[in-house]
Amino acid sequence: MSEKDAPAADNKGDEDFEVVEPASKGAAEKIELLHVGVSPHLRAPETTTSIMGWVLLALVPLTIYGIYIGGLHAFAVVVSCIVGAVITEVVLQRLMHVPVTIADLSAVVTGLLLALTLPPRLPFWIAFIGGVVAISLGKQIFGGLGHNIFNPALVGRAVLFISWSSYMTTSYLINPKASVVNTATIKSINAVSSATPLFSIGLVRKGELSINAARYVKPLLFGNPWGCIGEVSAVLILLGLAILLIKRLVDWRIPVCFVGTVMLLSWIKGGNPVFYALAGGLLLGACFMATDYVTNPMTGWGKVIFAVGCGVVTFVLRFYSNMPEGVMFAILLMNGFTPLIDRYIQPRPVGYKARLQEKES
Partner 1 sequence: MNKVAADKSIAPGPIPQEVVIPLSQHVGAPCDPTVKVGDRVMVGTRIGDSEAFVSAPIHSSVSGEVTAIAKRPHPSGEDSLAVVIKSDRLDTIDPAVKPQDAPDDLAPDDIRRLVRQGGIVGLGGAVFPTHVKLAPPADKPIDVVIINGAECEPYLTGDYRLMLERGEDILKGARLIQRAVGAERIAVGIEKSNPGAIEAMRKAAEPIGVEVVALPARYPQGAEKTLVKFVTGRQIPQGKLPLEVGAIVDNVGTAAAIYDAVYRGMPLVERTLTVAGDGVTEPANLRVRIGTIVEEVIEHAGGLVGNPGKVILGGPMMGVAQYTTLVPVTKATTGIIVLRKDTIVKEEPGHFVCIRCGRCVKNCPQNLLPFQIGAYADKGMWDWLDKLSVEDCMECGCCAYGCPTRNPLVQLMKVGKEGYIRKRSKMEALEKAREENKTEEDKSDE
> In this complex, which beta carbon is closest to partner 1, that of residue 320 or of residue 352?
352
Q: Does 43 bind partner 1 (CB under 8 A)?
A: yes
Q: Does 222 bind partner 1 (CB under 8 A)?
A: no
Point out which span in 38-46, 59-67, 121-129, 195-203 binds partner 1 (CB under 8 A): 38-46
Choosing from 242, 268, 298, 340, the residue that interacts with partner 1 (CB under 8 A) is: 298
CA angle, corner 29, sides to 45 and 38, nearest 5? 35
Site for partner 1 in 331-350 (CB under 8 A): 346-350
Cβ at position 244, least distance to partner 1 in Å: 12
Cβ at position 49, least distance to partner 1 in Å: 8
Q: Does 194 bind partner 1 (CB under 8 A)?
A: no
Site for partner 1 in 130-159 (CB under 8 A): 145-146
Q: Which residues contact 342 (CB under 8 A, 6 or more apart)?
A: 297, 298, 299, 302
Task: Confirm if 131 and 90 have CB atoms less than 8 A apart.
Answer: no
Cβ at position 299, least distance to partner 1 in Å: 6
> In this complex, which beta carbon is closest to partner 1, that of residue 77 or of residue 109?
109
Cβ at position 42, least distance to partner 1 in Å: 5
**Exposed/middle/buried for 53, CB within 10 Å: 0-12, 13-18, 19+?**
middle
Site for partner 1 in 244-273 (CB under 8 A): 251
Site for partner 1 in 75-134 (CB under 8 A): none
Point out which span in 29-37, 170-178, 190-198, 312-320 binds partner 1 (CB under 8 A): 29-37
Cβ at position 294, least distance to partner 1 in Å: 5
Length of the chain: 361
Picking from 306, 308, 311, the residue whose alpha carbon sits closest to that of residue 341 is 306
**Exposed/middle/buried for 209, CB within 10 Å: 0-12, 13-18, 19+?**
middle
Q: Which residues contact 217 (CB under 8 A, 6 or more apart)?
A: 272, 274, 275, 278
Return the number of other C-beta atoms located less than 10 Å from residue 3's C-beta.
6
Choosing from 26, 37, 207, 270, the residue that interacts with partner 1 (CB under 8 A) is: 37
> In this complex, which beta carbon is closest to partner 1, that of residue 34 or of residue 184?
34
User: Total binding residues for partner 1 by CB under 8 A?
Assistant: 37
Picking from 223, 319, 219, the residue whose alpha carbon sits closest to that of residue 271 is 319
Q: What stretches of the chain show up as alpha helix (H) in DSSP?
A: 5-20, 25-30, 48-95, 106-116, 124-136, 152-163, 165-170, 183-192, 197-205, 217-222, 234-246, 253-268, 273-278, 282-284, 300-320, 327-344, 352-360
Choosing from 25, 41, 97, 206, the residue that interacts with partner 1 (CB under 8 A) is: 41
Picking from 258, 234, 244, the residue whose alpha carbon sits closest to that of residue 306 is 258
Cβ at position 353, least distance to partner 1 in Å: 7
Task: Confirm if 134 and 172 have CB atoms less than 8 A apart.
Answer: no
Contact residues for partner 1 (CB under 8 A)?
Answer: 32-44, 46-48, 50-51, 145-146, 251, 293-294, 298-299, 346-355, 357-358
